[in-house]
Structure 1
Amino acid sequence: MVKVFVITYSTYGHVNTVAESVVKGLEKGGVEVGRYQIAETLSDEILTKMHAPPKADIPIIDPKNLPEADGFLFGFPTRYGTTPAQVKTFFDATGSLWTKQALAGKPAGFFFSTASQHGGQEVTVFTSLPILAHHGIIYVPFGYAHPHLFDNSEVVGGSAWGAGTVANGDGSRQPTQKELEIAEAQGENFASVAKKLAA
């Protein structure tokens, strides 16, 4: 069976909530899912000062295990329009895979969380594309494949680049039902692409 890794970094839990719906969509699409999180680089002292909750009980991904998957969906919050330092550290540790082109030809997509509607959901993915290009990983955008992405009656995270949520600056807003439905649809769509490429 085709295997897709869902790999997240989440400080306050919003991305992990979206990931649950992504996983649901992948499983609905008929692929095996491996669920992982990226290691934290901040100290417990700093995280306490940030009022961050304890990390979810999800296995830490070791970069050397990436070749075991047929595809990847990465989820993380934006930091000034790019990846958080934790995610950058993770990708910086994939050099040995790059030298062997061990991930070339595998598909990947993204989902994300921002503090505001214009907090960088699209540009965060855009600034991550060079990582995929250097590995030869095939970027799979979501497109406007769900009607909620056309909904202008309320704040709805996500775009053609992937599912998303808007958390507010204080993290008080949780992913909405519409955002979670978009995430599930992205998972199901990605499963279809991953299966075709694996064939």
Structure 2
Amino acid sequence: MTKVLVLYYSSYGHMSQMADAVAEGARSGGATVDILRVPETAPAEVAQAAGFKSDHTHAVIESVERLADYDAIVIGSPTRFGRMSSQMASFLDQAGGLWFRGALNGKVGAAFTSTASQHGGQETTLFSLITNLLHFGMTVVGLDYGFAGQMGVDEVKGGSPYGATTIADGDGSRMPSAVELDGARYQGKRVAETATRLFA
């Protein structure tokens, strides 16, 4: 059975909810799924002062080497000034050995993110994640327009052909909407289906 890893970083819970939805979609596509988060690198006093969520429901990944155990990896990070968070970057920067061995070549990859506003860097953040996936030799799956929910202007919503997204608002008060979670599920299912076709 196809094995999918949903790997994310979340400060306030938005990415955790999106990760759950991606995993749900991947399971509906026939895959077994693990959801793990990368370690927190911010000092405890900084995280506490900023109100970072501490009651996480997903375990921390033990080692970057574990990435090689999966057929597909879906990476999620909130936006930090138009790019991935330093926590995710720090983790991926440890993958030089995997890259050197070609351990992720041919595997399936995808990305998802959140921003404070509709124009807060969703697509550039997705590209910062996708760039890593391509350097690892992975086949990238986006959020294709088969998911029609990302179209239209009837409500504020995330979504991009490059990956599922959500909008958190400047104070983090807006959690992922039903449409945004559906987009994450759709992308997760596409990842699982693509990996199954490649590795069947």
Same fold (TM over 0.5): yes
Q: Deviations over 1:12-45 (max 9, x none)?
A: 0001111111111111110000110011101111
Shift of 1:55: 4.4
Aligned to 1:49: 49
Aligned to 1:98: 99
SS of residue in 1 equivalent to 2:19: helix
Percentage identity across paired residues of the two chains: 39
Shift of 1:128: 2.7
Aligned to 2:31: 31
Aligned to 1:75: 76
Shift of 1:84: 0.7
Task: Please tell me the root mean square deviation across aligned C-alpha atoms, in Å.
Answer: 1.1
- 8 Å CA contact 2:4, 2:71 repeated in 1: yes
Counterpart CA distance in 2 for 1:77 and 1:114 is 6
Shift of 1:116: 0.2
- 8 Å CA contact 2:143, 2:159 repeated in 1: no
Return 5+ residue gaps in structure 2 as ranges.
Answer: none
Counterpart CA distance in 1 for 2:147 and 2:155 is 15
Counterpart CA distance in 1 for 2:84 and 2:140 is 16
TM-score calculated relative to the size of structure 1: 0.96
Aligned to 1:19: 19
Counterpart CA distance in 1 for 2:21 and 2:105 is 27
- 8 Å CA contact 2:143, 2:183 repeated in 1: no
Counterpart CA distance in 1 for 2:55 and 2:8 is 11
TM-score calculated relative to the size of structure 2: 0.96
Counterpart CA distance in 2 for 1:59 and 1:68 is 17
Counterpart CA distance in 1 for 2:8 and 2:128 is 17
Aligned to 1:171: 172
Q: Deviations over 1:86-106 (max 9, x none)?
A: 111001101111110111110
Aligned to 1:125: 126
Q: Deviations over 1:49-81 (max 9, x none)?
A: 101121413121220111100011111101111
Counterpart CA distance in 2 for 1:18 and 1:189 is 15
Counterpart CA distance in 1 for 2:55 and 2:9 is 10
Instruction: Read off the aligned partner of 2:117 and give its amino acid letter.
Output: S
